[in-house]
Structure 1
Amino acid sequence: MNLFDSNNWDAKLQPVIDLYRGKKHPLAYENLYQLLVMVLLSAQDSDANINKIAPPLFEKYPNLTQLASATLESLYPFVSKIRNFNTKSGWLIEIAQILKKDDNIPTTLPELTALKGIGRKSANVIMREMKVPAEGIIADLHVIRVAPRIGVIQESKDGNKVEKQLMEVLPKNIWGEIGMALSFLGRETCRPTNPKCNNCPIQNDCQYPLKTI
């Protein structure tokens, strides 16, 4: 049973949303093209690693038009330090050849998830950063860990299942911010070990302390 009454979700989680509202994603992108590329590359990798390899990659391929002319061999030197770089390289080239130019990059969930390598989590991140109306909730590794810990949903390792549970219990008016807010909370405060509970804006409503008594 959830700790919070479903009618009070927005009120209980509002302090987290207020704390992180509009805060830019840790990926150091400068435009939609860069965000698309970096989100795809970051799957099963760290934002810090993607930020490190991105500058020379974007210097060589500053837009989709240029990227569409790349080959796997020409792309590999820029992404070889990323997990699954060979598969991701193929996805990037295919996306670039399909979309052809940056202006054609979509910002809706169905269109984004139709692209190779872009799942719901990635699409939700792109939409949130581009400030378009949310069609889902970001469920990254931090959200997958934090949401059940604080008592919002049942535990699951499946990001899609976590997102579905969150969408069922959270009002749609907070979808656009709550995922990234919980992600930042997990990165900064609700750490996997030794969480900083005394610094948490929802410490009085969190279920986690009950499990540690």
Structure 2
Amino acid sequence: METSLFSQQWQEPLEPLLKKYKGKKHPLDYNNIYELLIMVILSAQDSDANINKIAPALFEVYPNLESLAVSNTESLLPFVTKVRNYNTKAGWIIEIAQTLQKDSNIPTTMDELVALKGIGRKSANVIMREAKAPAEGIIADLHVIRVAPRIGIITEAKDGNKVEKQLMQALPREIWGEIGMAISFLGRETCRPSNPKCSECPVQNHCHYPLKTI
């Protein structure tokens, strides 16, 4: 995908946002790529805070994929019952563990990640970003879906894959790896659903949202 003149227009305005959040660790409190993989799967349609709460007990018993690969869904269930759709997610996790067998086999490319049960493009982008793998897309979580149209980078959309596609067309590839998470952090900390802290926003001079509220 070639960089368009439109995408070049956004690179400079977004620099303060990238500078503020570049390299900041994802809110999921993981210690390694194995823990991140499992927590990303569990966090779908759930909160990072909830997953962080249940994770320590889970990883005490299952510290790696090897330990999960010789287990089963029934044994895993007691550790994830407080997670939304826990039955389905437990099944996915056991299947992934039995497929990959060990932590060193965890992939960090888009095609390989989305081939795993429970891993969509958003989750794959998160794993690749945290693993410092070359970006093949842009993280488009619920915060990005809300905030990116507010800023004016893309048009309104509710589907994460559509938002990601628009962002990939609107932004230069060299910032793909960080910009999604940066927008997500902005949405978590500053650009809240109601009463956003516009005066504290690093892109306030370029944001379209204040214009819509006048």
Q: TM-score range by the shorter chain?
A: over 0.9
Instruction: Please name the residue that 1:140 is paired with.
Output: 141
Supply the AA of the counterpart residue of 1:167. Answer: M
Question: Residues 132-162 of structure 1: CA distance to partner in whole angstroms, max 9, x if unpaired?
Answer: 1100000000000000011000111100000
Provide structure 1 residue ranges, at least 5 long, that are not aligned to the other structure. Answer: none
Range with bigger deviation, 188-197 or 62-71 = 62-71
SS of equivalent residue, structure 1 residue 173: helix
After TM superposition, the structure 1 = structure 2 runs for residues 152-191 of structure 1, keeping only pairs within 5 Å, are 152-191=153-192
1:98 Cα deviation after fit: 0.3
1:41 aligns with 2:38: no
* Aligned residue type for 1:173: E
The separation in 1 between residues aligned to 2:19 and 2:202, in whole angstroms, is 10
Using structure 1 for the length normalisation, give the TM-score: 0.97
8 Å contact 2:6–2:170 — kept in the other structure?
Answer: no
C-alpha separation in 2, matches of 1:183 and 1:28: 16
Contact residue 138 and residue 179 of structure 2 kept, 8 A: yes
- Take 2:133 and 2:78, find their aligned partners in 1: how far apart are those partners? 34
Q: Does 1:63 align with 2:64?
A: yes
Displacement of 1:9: 1.1
Query: Counterparts of 1:7-26 in structure 2 under 5 Å?
Result: 7-26=8-27
- Which residue matches 1:118? 119
Tell me the secondary structure at the aligned position of residue 204 of structure 1.
Answer: coil
Query: Residue 52 of structure 2 corresponds to which residue in structure 1?
Result: 51
Amino acid corresponding to residue 89 of structure 1 in structure 2: A
Q: Residues 24-60 of structure 1, C-alpha deviation per residue, up to 9 Å, x if partnerless? A: 0000000010000000100000000000000010000
Please say if residues 141 and 184 of structure 2, whose CA atoms lie closer than 8 Å, have aligned partners that are also in contact.
yes
Tell me the equivalent position of 2:82: 81
Distance apart, 1:6 and its partner CA:
3.5
- Residue 8 of structure 1 deviates from its aligned partner by 1.7
Number of positions where the alignment pairs a residue of Structure 1 with one of Structure 2 = 210
**Percent identity for Structure 1 against Structure 2:** 74
Per the alignment, residue 106 of structure 1 pairs with 107
Residue identity matched to 1:193? S
Instruction: Give the AA of the match of 1:207.
Output: H
Q: Distance in 2 between matches of 1:174 and 1:123?
A: 17
The AA in structure 1 aligned to 2:132 is K
Letter in 1 for 2:106: I
Structure 2: unaligned runs, 5 residues or longer: none
> SS where residue 148 of structure 1 aligns?
helix
C-alpha distance in 1 between matches for 2:71 and 2:198: 48
C-alpha distance in structure 2 between counterparts of 1:113 and 1:70, whole Å: 23
Q: CA deviation at 1:5?
A: 4.9
Q: Which amino acid aligns with 1:50?
A: I
RMSD in angstroms over aligned alpha carbons? Answer: 1.0
Q: CA deviation at 1:83?
A: 0.2
The superposition leaves residues 3-28 of structure 1 with CA deviations (integer Å, 9 ceiling, x where unpaired) of x9543211011110000000000000
Instruction: Please say if residues 58 and 79 of structure 2, whose CA atoms lie closer than 8 Å, have aligned partners that are also in contact.
Output: yes
Offset at residue 72 of structure 1 (A): 1.6
> Which secondary structure does the structure 2 equivalent of 1:205 belong to?
coil
Contact 2:140-2:163 at 8 Å conserved across structures: yes
